[in-house]
């Protein structure tokens, strides 16, 4: 369990989300392309004034009381039925669209709609007219919960339904105005041009919808009764401007770690001049070595505080300005320097950083790690001053304003990316420093002979067990943002590797006499060709493992 006293921002209680439902009414336009019905909210609305939205609103007691008036699919539970009824009611009240049928199956028509009062009791009027609500024609697309920073929040299923025949939308001219049918891509283009204001969930929903050619394709995608996505976004700052992100995006895990209650204060832009605080006892400084293999650059981490001194993890390349910034961020008090492995973007800075400490009159911090194996390439040679043991504990302790404080890193040998690769667990805060074993935004290269795919997968299993034992939620990689949902991330990474291995096997079977270049072209067809030379290295690691697993090779 992480120590909350190391969090950067005081805890706060986000507003409780209100239950609501919204419905995307669909049709195919004159050209056969998918269109969705949108409407503009009142400029005086308390939520998203002036925004173009899908019809919807709060769920109330009358919606759950109307179950007997609705047709439903066997898979629609009580909650799902209530949500569908709420969406049907709201689309009628706001736009005069009535998703209801007569007993003989005919859809409600203009005469039915004219006979109902949009401000009167909805269920009673529907029953009196002999209509049944078509909840069975309403499907769950997604579920959104508003970000934790907002003073008024909603938890909203986004539902979809085909527009009933013979009906036309008519706005209530109170809450909603200007109903418009629009293709998702056109709505997004108009929003980008500043002509069609929309809020974040609407934008992201339309981005997903743009992938579907027509109504039938979208309804087929939601027929499985499960939401296509579930999201409660988080926001940070990029160049001083608010930047929101969903769970699948690289920034999300870092925002969850640094601002768990939704404070919009964390900077997201990559820069090399200043350390980024992640906890009171944790800073990240990114080296100025961005590239295809390094992403935004190598992350150097400082663990500790002024009372305990600091451990520097992965000082990075031999870049004196970066190392001086790292040294200054630690107030010159670096007690240990740890290299996760011997590659040129991780370990060469260790000795110059040590010398900066000595020149300032400090004791030389020991350079710790595992020595490079004989299989390492010439540019990746590394001999630490002291060899770390698997399971060893590196401890900082001191007396601060709140009394005695300790920061403990546990060493975990994780061969795979490199034979001498190690990860580090910050025990008191349940944080895992993954070096290059786990990255954010890409999979690490496994480059034989020093890289080994079998070892890599075994190390993933070991890290998963470690995360389970210590309740680790966040992974801090050597490249990219912090990753959240640690165990799910590891599971996804392993599944990706095994899926890629299946493609390698298929390529080898299809081209038994093929070259490595030909196998890469088949197994990495989803990867840009410019990356195939790098992919060849990991393919060779897969081939080694595949052949090792063949009968007779155990």
- pLDDT at residue 296, rounded to an integer: 95
Number of other CB atoms surrounding residue 45 within 10 Å: 14
- CB neighbour class for 74 (10 Å; exposed up to 12, middle 13-18, buried from 19): exposed
Q: Which residues of the chain have a pLDDT value below 50?
A: none
Rounded to the nearest 5°, which phi and psi values hold at 21? -150, 145
**Of 370, 379, 386, 384, residue with least CA distance to 419:** 370
Q: State pLDDT tens for residues 270-285.
A: 999 999 999 999 999 9
State pTM to two decimals.
Answer: 0.92
| 261 backbone φψ class: left, alpha, beta (φ>0; ψ -120 to 50) | alpha
- pLDDT at residue 172, rounded to an integer: 84
* DSSP E strand stretches across 234-385: 234-238, 241-245, 276-279, 282-286, 299-305, 309-313, 334-338, 367-369
Rounded to the nearest 5°, which phi and psi values hold at 119? -105, 0
* Distance of alpha carbon 83 from alpha carbon 72, whole angstroms: 12
**Of 361, 306, 365, residue with least CA distance to 337:** 365
List domains and CATH numbers for the chain. Answer: 18-232 (3.90.79.10), 233-269 (no CATH), 275-485 (3.60.15.10), 497-549 (no CATH)
- pLDDT at residue 442, rounded to an integer: 87
- pLDDT at residue 549, rounded to an integer: 85
- C-alpha pair distances (Å), 121 with each of 6, 61, 86, 114: 53, 12, 13, 15
Q: State pLDDT tens for residues 95-120.
A: 999 999 999 999 999 999 999 998 89
Q: Angle 4-146-8 (CA atoms, 0-180°, nearest 5)?
A: 20
* Distance of alpha carbon 413 from alpha carbon 400, whole angstroms: 32
The residue whose two tokens read 């401007």 is 241
């Amino acid at each position: 369990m992480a120590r909350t006293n190391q969090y950067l921002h005081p805890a706060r209680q986000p507003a409780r989300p209100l239950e609501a439902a919204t419905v995307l009414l669909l049709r195919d336009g004159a050209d056969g392309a998918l269109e969705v019905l949108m409407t503009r909210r009142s400029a005086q609305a308390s939520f998203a004034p002036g925004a173009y939205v899908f019809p919807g609103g709060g769920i109330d007691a009358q919606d759950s009381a109307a179950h007997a008036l609705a047709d439903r699919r066997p898979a629609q539970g009580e909650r799902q039925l209530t949500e569908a009824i709420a969406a049907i009611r709201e689309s009628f009240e706001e736009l005069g669209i009535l998703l209801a049928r007569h007993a003989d199956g005919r859809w409600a028509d203009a005469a039915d709609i004219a006979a109902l009062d949009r401000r009167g009791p909805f269920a009673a009027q529907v029953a009196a007219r002999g209509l049944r609500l078509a909840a069975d024609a309403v499907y769950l697309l997604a579920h959104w919960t508003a970000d934790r920073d907002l003073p008024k929040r909603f938890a909203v299923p986004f539902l979809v339904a085909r527009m009933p025949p013979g009906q036309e939308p008519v706005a209530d001219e109170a809450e909603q105005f200007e109903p418009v049918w629009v293709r998702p891509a056109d709505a997004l283009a108009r929003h980008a041009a500043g002509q069609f204001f929309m809020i974040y969930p609407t934008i992201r929903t339309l981005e997903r919808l743009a992938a579907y050619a027509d109504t039938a394709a979208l309804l087929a995608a939601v027929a499985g009764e499960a939401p296509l996505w579930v999201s409660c976004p988080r926001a940070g700052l990029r160049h001083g401007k608010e930047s929101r992100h969903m769970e699948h995006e690289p920034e999300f895990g870092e925002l969850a770690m640094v601002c768990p209650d939704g404070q919009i204060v964390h900077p997201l832009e990559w820069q090399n001049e200043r350390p980024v605080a992640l906890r009171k006892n944790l800073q990240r400084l990114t080296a100025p070595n961005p590239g295809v293999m390094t992403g935004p650059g190598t992350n150097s981490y400082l663990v500790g505080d002024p009372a305990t001194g600091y451990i520097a993890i992965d000082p990075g390349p031999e870049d004196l300005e970066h190392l001086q910034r790292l040294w200054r961020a630690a107030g010159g008090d670096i007690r240990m320097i740890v290299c996760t492995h011997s590659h040129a973007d991780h370990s060469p800075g260790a000795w110059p950083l040590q010398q900066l400490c000595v020149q300032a009159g400090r004791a030389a911090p020991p350079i710790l790690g595992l020595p490079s194996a004989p299989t390492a390439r010439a540019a990746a040679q590394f001999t630490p001053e002291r060899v770390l043991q698997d399971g060893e504990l590196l401890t900082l302790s001191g007396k601060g304003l709140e009394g005695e404080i300790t920061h403990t890193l546990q060493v975990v040998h994780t061969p795979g990316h490199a034979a001498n690769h190690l990860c580090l667990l910050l025990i008191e805060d349940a944080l895992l420093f993954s070096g290059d074993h786990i990255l954010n935004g890409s999979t690490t290269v496994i480059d034989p002979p020093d890289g080994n795919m079998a070892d890599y997968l075994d190390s993933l299993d070991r890290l998963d067990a470690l995360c389970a034992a210590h309740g680790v939620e966040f992974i801090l990689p050597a490249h990219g943002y912090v990753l959240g949902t640690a165990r799910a991330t590891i599971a996804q990474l392993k599944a990706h590797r095994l899926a890629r291995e299946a493609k390698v096997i298929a390529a080898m079977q299809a081209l038994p006499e093929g070259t490595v270049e030909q196998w890469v072209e088949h197994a990495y067809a989803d990867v840009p060709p410019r990356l195939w030379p790098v992919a060849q290295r990991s393919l060779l690691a897969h081939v080694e493992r595949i052949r090792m697993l063949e009968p007779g090779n155990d």
